[in-house]
Amino acid sequence: MKYKQRKKALILLADGTIFHGKSIGKEGSAFGEVCFNTGTTGYQEIFTDPSYYGQLMVTTNAHIGNYGTKEDEVESDDIKIAGLICKNFSFNYSRPAGDSSLEDFFEKHNKLAIADVDTRALVSYIRDNGAMNAVITTEIDKLESLKQQLAELPSMKGLELASKVSTKEPYFVGDEKATYKIAALDIGIKKNILRNLVKRDAYVKVFPYNAKFEELEAFNPDGYFLSNGPGDPEPLVDAQLLAKEVIAKNKPLFGICLGHQIIALANGISTYKMHNGHRGINHPVKNLITGKGEITSQNHGFAINREETEANKNVEITHVHLNDNTVAGIKVKGKNCFSVQYHPEASPGPNDSLYLFDQFIENIKNNK
């Protein structure tokens, strides 16, 4: 444990509200949209999930860091959240399988974290007032200039962030001799999605966010995949065009989260920014086709318009979020295309929805 004299830190919200805390190690300032995740476990997966790029994460669990970190329990190669805000930060960890402390992990990835924050008060505040931009800082003597910078920070609405996290070059995952070939568009892909496809005998070629349909098609895939990712789906026009082409050719297509929103937009359904979004690992969803409930992992701040989806002749709602009746899944009628707003790959979260990967492979098999 490298318990240093920890510096005073604070969170300044865009509306001027301030919450106090102490920094963990790194000093300075980090800007982003403040949001909260209610998961009790899975912090390493959350911090490395590219969907969170540009967001300051408030964890509502009382302790963060108590089981350390493990090199292979990541969803991408580095910490993607803009910074962490938590209550009790554990400098010690007690898990035999762990290979580093969370403190070291943050230091290695050069990210700011602040603890000893009244996260309950902060979450109540953003729950009532909605997601907003904020800065976490140890530079408490520079508040006026931070306020100015904060005022200039663009809103998450309309923000294209996929280009910040997507691969620069295509790459391959899995065994070249696998039964199925899948072309995946990386608009912020989580590693556990790739693990789940490979586990189901797929060889996956992962493409940059702005790849054209023809580039994916040249791989001669049996199925196409649109990943999760950060930011607003609306500016991702290339990805929407690509989805349109895959659907027009009736090729198997599966979309998760941002990928789901892209498929909705490609079908003329608009998306909107939610008051607070859904971020946690116990969100109830009903599958309207089977009538079964699933407990799901969720992480999104945008959703697709329900009225427009109901009125759309080409699209059917397949899953509904039981807390607020938002659309949690759709399929395109008469086409080989479906998508969900949540995270069937979990990591973190329950495995109830893994069947969706089997469903995708089944669609591929039937189309082969």
Ligand X SMILES: NC(=O)CC[C@H](N)C(=O)O
Q: Is position 103 annotated as part of the catalytic site?
A: no
Work out whether strand 29-37 and strand 132-137 pair parallel, antiparallel, or are unpaired. antiparallel
Q: How many residues interact with ligand X (rule CB under 6 A)? A: 11
Which one of the listed residues 35, 86, 257, 337 is annotated catalytic? Answer: 257
Work out whether strand 63-64 and strand 83-85 pair parallel, antiparallel, or are unpaired. unpaired
Nearer to ligand X, 10 or 269 (CB): 269
Exactly one of 87, 181, 251, 300 binds ligand X (CB under 6 A); which one? 300
299 touches ligand X (CB under 6 A): yes
302 in a labelled binding site: yes
Stretch of 69-77, 97-105, 223-231, 235-243 contacting ligand X, by CB under 6 A: 223-231
Which tokens in the block code for residue 195?
A: 């693990």
Exactly one of 54, 208, 301, 348 binds ligand X (CB under 6 A); which one? 301
- Partners of 34 in the beta sheet? 56, 132
Backbone angles phi and psi of 86, in degrees to 5: -140, 175
Per-residue 3-state assignment (H helix, E strand, C coil) for 152-197: HCCCCCCCECHHHHCCCCCEEECCCCCCEEEEEECCCCCHHHHHHH
Exactly one of 65, 68, 208, 230 binds ligand X (CB under 6 A); which one? 230
51 in a labelled binding site: yes
299 in a labelled binding site: yes
Stretch of 85-93, 106-114, 213-221, 297-305 contacting ligand X, by CB under 6 A: 297-305
- Between the alpha carbon of residue 120 and those of residues 31, 123, 124, 237, 299, the distances in Å are 21, 5, 6, 38, 19
In Å, how far from its chain's centre is CA 148? Answer: 29
Euclidean distance between CA atoms 294 and 354, whole angstroms: 10
Q: Is position 160 annotated as part of the catalytic site?
A: no
54 touches ligand X (CB under 6 A): no
Q: Which among 64, 75, 62, 175 is positioned nearest to 113, based on CA atoms?
A: 64
Euclidean distance between CA atoms 278 and 233, whole angstroms: 16
Exactly one of 258, 262, 285, 337 binds ligand X (CB under 6 A); which one? 258
364 touches ligand X (CB under 6 A): no
Stretch of 63-71, 104-112, 121-129, 300-308 contacting ligand X, by CB under 6 A: 300-308
32 touches ligand X (CB under 6 A): no
Q: Cβ 300 to ligand X, closest distance in Å?
A: 3
Residue 217: its H or E element: helix 213-217
Residue number of the CB closest to ligand X reads 257
The residues carrying an active-site annotation are: 257, 343, 345
Which residues in this chain contact ligand X in the complex, by CB under 6 A? Answer: 51, 228-231, 257-258, 299-302
Show binding-site residues.
51, 229, 231, 258, 261, 299, 301-302
